């Protein structure tokens, strides 16, 4: 194994070995090339108007070049490349015979030459991530570079694996270890330099394939999902620019945490939203009882709503007679009845069905005019479609309805609900849905989170929503069947990357089986892949959290932590406020972020205790300013902190029905150190 690093300062340059000097020279060349690219891009921004033909394209081009120039200008903050592939000279190297490639976050090329640095998403870069001693894929040596983390970044050394001599570091690589163990500050970072072979396979799965990734805490699911989005945008830029990529996360705090990853990879056009924002129809003013929420999130509601909506379609009761000049155009009742039946059988979205019925009625009337050798024009067809006798039939047999109106009627009218839910929901379940005090009109109805999903289902039955080319769904174990359907509607013509951990399911409807969940998400045949290497949580902390696993009643493969470092302390304390202040003070002596995680009820008290001790604290709403955050257990999902202080774990367990799962999430947020403080008893599984 070869590795190199500068032994001292530049004035001791003569001591640097030859290889390192060569690398420094290359770095200089790459920096110059980047600087040329930046100047060139700026120049093109300035002259954009002359390059492009018409005004629209010149504006678009100008905008593109501006953001490109901005991206390039921001580049000096991150290393220009992280690895080098040196191909061998035998036939396994194929077209890359004897070549050297530097791999980085983006392509860098000189004014008139070959690229100096290749984008990590280019096909050949995949070899960097996947080549192994057993299967070198033509590579003689793989080199990883180390950089300072301060600005401006400087090369600190490199680490070589001579794959042709059977050398391979895998997860023992010092640079990988350093990257994983580095103290966390600020938002999540990308992992392009150290993507692991199994992660790379998921990242590069092609656009037409949907995936489900089950992985324990800290196995890199979120990282994989975000890098896949970046990869797909590279490989299918034009298609996805048109159709869009959406990342769905559990809450705004999580989305904020991950928000910098894609922009750092040069991708600024990806929407990142919570499910509520995706649905986004209503302001939420009501809260359901647990029983009502359970029924509303159940897949059977889809059938109930479908039946309620199609139940509005009825047999026409009047024929059509439409004056047209001195004539009267007619459609007899039996023909109208037949038309409604024909459209109903076509089983299209309700709103589309109404328009189809209108078009068929107009076509029948048009034919009568044509018998009289008249050729009606576009205007006539339009006017006839809106004529009162035609609209009257539509309103009676296929009435227009808003989702809010239908749901208000359904939850206010016992008989209507009974008709729609007969044989689908029990009497008790129907009772849970009915409003005790119905609003006067659907306009004044107060909707719950679950209602918003139902309204979205109805809207989807009336007309298909616009979809995305690709959706990344994180923490997907927590989605209900109805929430899954909302996302399935938006990826009908696209693909999905679904990420989650059954052991971290905290909702009453959390998934117990991924295949079932994928069926609700509209991709029943998508393969389920497991990630089992843990990069976040140190082995000692993971072993403690994993004591809960047998009680969580889920089947998921165990996670093996690559981290031998880390500390765990469990303390019985009388005064939790004082103990929390004490632990946070001790943590402040070390670098990195700190979180105190506890029940919602204790957040205020502990924030106050820290503030009284002159420790500046962030809360879940206002973050990113200080090193210490006090976080309710309910908002910890997906986040990570260097040092975590968990206060009174048994209260976390008792605060909600799936409290044990919540505690599992909470205990697995620590990157380096976990302190557990308790005044009451520890949860039984942890005490063993
Ligand atoms: N290949 C890798 N190289 C370096 N760091 C990695 C790698 N894979 C994951 N990580 C790091 O491990 C940490 C956990 O990753 P991530 O948040 O994606 O895990 P997760 O599976 O989504 O976790 P959870 O289920 O707890 O939300 C992050 O800091 C991430 O950057």
So what's the pLDDT on residue 17? 76
How does residue 14 score in pLDDT terms, banded at 50, 70 and 90? low
Q: Both 269 and 336 in a single domain?
A: no
So what's the pLDDT on residue 52? 46
In a domain, 274, yes or no: yes
Q: Which of 276, 229, 230, 268 is nearest to 252 (CA)?
A: 276
CATH number at residue 210: 3.40.50.300
3-state secondary structure of 96: helix
Between CA 229 and CA 215 the distance in angstroms is 18
In a domain, 189, yes or no: yes
Total-model pTM: 0.90
Q: Is 219 annotated as a binding residue?
A: yes
Among candidate residues 397, 426, 455, the one where a domain is terminated? 397
Atom 18 in ligand 1: residue holding the nearest Cα? 220
Pocket test for ligand 1, best of 130, 203, 218, 247 (most atoms within 8 A of CB): 218
Q: Is the pLDDT of residue 268 over 70?
A: yes
Q: Which of 412, 449, 447 is nearest to 433 (CA)?
A: 412
Between CA 640 and CA 257 the distance in angstroms is 9
Atom 26 in ligand 1: residue holding the nearest Cα? 217
Q: Is 222 annotated as a binding residue?
A: yes
pLDDT digits (tens, 9 = 90+) for 73-121: 555 567 889 999 999 988 888 888 889 999 998 889 888 777 899 999 9
Q: Which of 103, 88, 106 is nearest to 145 (CA)?
A: 103
Compute the distance from residue 396 Cα to the ligand 1 centre, in Å. Answer: 57
pLDDT digits (tens, 9 = 90+) for 478-532: 999 999 999 999 999 999 999 999 999 999 999 999 999 999 999 999 999 999 9
Q: Both 578 and 663 in a single domain?
A: yes
Among candidate residues 505, 533, 561, the one where a domain is terminated? 533
Compute the distance from residue 210 Cα to the ligand 1 centre, in Å. Answer: 21
Answer whether 221 contacts ligand 1 (Cβ < 6 A): yes
How confident is the model over 346-365, as a mean pLDDT? 95
In a domain, 224, yes or no: yes
**Phi and psi at residue 327, to the nearest 5°:** -100, 175
Compute the distance from residue 202 Cα to the ligand 1 centre, in Å. Answer: 14
Between CA 601 and CA 630 the distance in angstroms is 12
Compute the distance from residue 638 Cα to the ligand 1 centre, in Å. Answer: 9
Q: Both 574 and 667 in a single domain?
A: yes
How does residue 61 score in pLDDT terms, banded at 50, 70 and 90? low
Compute the distance from residue 405 Cα to the ligand 1 centre, in Å. Answer: 45
Answer whether 191 contacts ligand 1 (Cβ < 6 A): yes
Q: Both 15 and 152 in a single domain?
A: yes
Q: Both 567 and 488 in a single domain?
A: no
Q: Residue 159 has which token pair?
A: 């680490």
The predicted complex's ipTM stands at 0.99
Atom 30 in ligand 1: residue holding the nearest Cα? 220
Q: Residue 82 has which token pair?
A: 């992280």
Its domain, for residue 424, covers: 202-278+403-533
Q: Both 410 and 389 in a single domain?
A: no
How confident is the model over 142-159, as a mean pLDDT? 86
Between CA 293 and CA 450 the distance in angstroms is 6
Q: Residue 182 has which token pair?
A: 């580095």
CB atoms under 10 Å from CB of 120, counted, come to: 28
Q: Is 216 annotated as a binding residue?
A: yes
In a domain, 55, yes or no: yes
Q: Which of 552, 591, 307, 278 is nearest to 424 (CA)?
A: 307
Between CA 267 and CA 264 the distance in angstroms is 7
How far is C-alpha 223 from the chain's CA centre? Answer: 10
Among candidate residues 378, 397, 416, the one where a domain is terminated? 397
Answer whether 408 contacts ligand 1 (Cβ < 6 A): no
Compute the distance from residue 191 Cα to the ligand 1 centre, in Å. Answer: 8
**Phi and psi at residue 596, to the nearest 5°:** -100, 120
Atom 1 in ligand 1: residue holding the nearest Cα? 195
Q: Both 117 and 146 in a single domain?
A: yes
Q: Is the pLDDT of residue 16 over 80?
A: no
Compute the distance from residue 538 Cα to the ligand 1 centre, in Å. Answer: 12
Between CA 99 and CA 518 the distance in angstroms is 43
So what's the pLDDT on residue 8? 42
In a domain, 310, yes or no: no
Answer whether 460 contacts ligand 1 (Cβ < 6 A): no
| DSSP state letter for 134 | S
Compute the distance from residue 255 Cα to the ligand 1 centre, in Å. Answer: 15
Q: Both 188 and 256 in a single domain?
A: no
In a domain, 627, yes or no: yes
Token pair 């399935």: residue = 488
Q: Both 424 and 473 in a single domain?
A: yes
3-state SS track over 152-211: CCCEEEEEEECHHHCCCCHHHCHHHHHHHHCCCCCCCCCCHHHCCHHHHHHHCCCCCCCE
Q: Both 367 and 511 in a single domain?
A: no
Residue 235 and residue 243 in contact, taking contact as beta carbons nearer than 8 Å: no
Q: Is 218 annotated as a binding residue?
A: yes
In a domain, 105, yes or no: yes
Q: Which of 209, 147, 141, 215 is nearest to 175 (CA)?
A: 147
Between CA 413 and CA 83 the distance in angstroms is 66
3-state secondary structure of 76: helix
Q: Residue 638 has which token pair?
A: 């997906």
Between CA 408 and CA 455 the distance in angstroms is 10
Tell me how many domains the chain contains.
4
Ligand 1 atom nearest 500 alpha carbon: 25
Name the helix (H) or strand (E) containing 677: strand 670-678
Strand partners, 259: none
In a domain, 230, yes or no: yes
Mean pLDDT is lowest, of 9-23, 221-235, 549-563, 631-645, for: 9-23
3-state secondary structure of 525: coil
Answer whether 126 contacts ligand 1 (Cβ < 6 A): no
Q: Both 498 and 566 in a single domain?
A: no
Q: Residue 332 contacts by C-beta under 8 Å, 6 or more apart in sequence?
A: 319
Answer whether 430 contacts ligand 1 (Cβ < 6 A): no
Between CA 193 and CA 535 the distance in angstroms is 14
Between CA 364 and CA 356 the distance in angstroms is 12
DSSP string for 351-397: HHHHHHHHHHHHHHHHHHHHHTT----HHHHHHHHT-HHHHHHHHHH
Compute the distance from residue 645 Cα to the ligand 1 centre, in Å. Answer: 20
Q: Both 130 and 145 in a single domain?
A: yes
Atom 5 in ligand 1: residue holding the nearest Cα? 180
| DSSP state letter for 324 | E
Ligand 1 atom nearest 194 alpha carbon: 3
Ligand 1 atom nearest 637 alpha carbon: 27
Residue 478 and residue 505 in contact, taking contact as beta carbons nearer than 8 Å: yes
Q: Residue 197 has which token pair?
A: 């072979």
């Amino acid at each position: 194994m070869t590795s190199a690093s500068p032994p001292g300062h530049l004035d001791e340059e003569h001591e640097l070995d030859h290889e390192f000097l060569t690398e420094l020279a290359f770095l200089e060349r790459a920096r110059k090339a980047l600087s040329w690219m930046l100047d060139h891009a700026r120049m093109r921004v300035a002259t954009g108007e002359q390059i492009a033909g018409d005004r629209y394209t010149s504006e678009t081009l100008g905008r593109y070049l501006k953001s490109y120039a901005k991206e390039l200008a921001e580049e000096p903050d991150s290393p220009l490349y992280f690895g080098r592939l040196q191909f061998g000279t035998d036939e396994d190297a194929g077209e890359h015979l004897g070549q050297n490639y530097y791999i980085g976050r983006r392509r860098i090329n000189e004014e008139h030459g070959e690229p100096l640095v290749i984008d990590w998403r280019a096909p050949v870069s995949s070899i960097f991530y996947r080549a192994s001693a057993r299967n070198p894929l033509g590579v003689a040596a793989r080199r990883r570079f180390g950089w300072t983390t301060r600005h401006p970044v400087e090369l600190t050394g490199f680490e070589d694996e001579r794959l042709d001599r059977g050398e391979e570091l895998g997860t023992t690589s010092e640079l990988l270890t350093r990257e994983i163990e580095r103290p966390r500050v600020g938002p999540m970072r990308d992992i392009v330099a150290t993507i692991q072979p199994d992660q790379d396979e998921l990242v590069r799965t092609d656009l037409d394939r949907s995936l489900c990734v089950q992985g324990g805490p800290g196995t890199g699911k979120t990282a994989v999902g975000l890098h896949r989005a970046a990869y797909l945008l590279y490989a299918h830029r034009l298609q996805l620019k048109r159709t869009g990529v959406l990342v769905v996360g559990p809450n705004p705090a999580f989305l904020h945490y991950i928000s910098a990853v894609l922009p750092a990879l040069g991708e600024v056009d990806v929407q990142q939203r919570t499910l509520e924002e995706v649905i986004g129809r209503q302001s939420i003013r009501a809260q359901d009882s647990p029983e009502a929420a359970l029924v509303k999130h159940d897949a059977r509601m889809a059938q109930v709503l479908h039946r309620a909506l199609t139940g509005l379609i009825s047999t026409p009761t009047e024929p059509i007679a439409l004056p047209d000049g001195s004539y009267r155009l007619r459609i007899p009742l039996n023909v109208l009845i037949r038309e409604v039946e024909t459209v109903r059988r076509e089983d299209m979205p309700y709103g589309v069905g109404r328009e189809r019925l209108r078009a068929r009625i107009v076509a029948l009337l048009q034919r009568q005019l044509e018998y009289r050798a008249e050729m009606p024009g576009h205007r006539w067809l339009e006017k006839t479609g809106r004529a009162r006798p035609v609209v009257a039939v539509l309103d009676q047999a296929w009435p227009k309805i808003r989702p809010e109106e239908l749901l208000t009627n359904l939850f206010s009218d016992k008989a209507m609900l009974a008709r729609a839910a007969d044989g689908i929901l029990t009497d008790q379940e129907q009772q849970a849905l009915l409003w005790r005090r119905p609003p006067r009109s659907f306009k004044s109805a107060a909707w719950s989170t679950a209602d918003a999903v139902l309204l979205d289902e109805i809207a989807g039955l009336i007309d298909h929503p616009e979809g995305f080319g690709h959706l990344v769904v994180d923490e997907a174990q927590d989605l209900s069947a109805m929430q899954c359907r909302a996302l399935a509607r938006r990826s009908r013509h696209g693909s999905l990357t679904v990420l989650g951990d059954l052991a971290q399911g905290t909702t009453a409807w959390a998934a117990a089986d991924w295949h079932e969940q994928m069926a609700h998400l509209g991709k029943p045949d998508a393969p389920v892949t497991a990630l089992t290497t843990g990069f976040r949580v140190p082995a000692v902390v993971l072993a403690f959290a994993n004591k809960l696993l047998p009680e969580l009643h889920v089947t998921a493969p165990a996670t093996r932590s690559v981290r031998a470092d880390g500390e765990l302390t469990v303390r019985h304390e009388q005064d939790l406020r004082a103990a929390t202040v004490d632990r946070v003070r001790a943590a402040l002596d070390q670098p990195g972020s700190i979180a105190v995680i506890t029940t919602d009820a204790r957040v205020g008290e502990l924030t106050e205790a820290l503030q009284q001790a002159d420790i500046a604290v962030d809360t879940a709403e206002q973050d990113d300013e200080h090193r210490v955050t006090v976080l309710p257990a309910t908002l910890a999902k997906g986040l990570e902190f260097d040092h975590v202080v968990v206060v009174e774990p048994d209260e976390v367990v008792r605060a909600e029905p799936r409290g044990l799962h919540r505690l599992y999430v909470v205990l697995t947020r620590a990157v380096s150190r976990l302190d557990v403080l308790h005044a009451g008893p520890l949860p039984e599984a942890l005490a063993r």
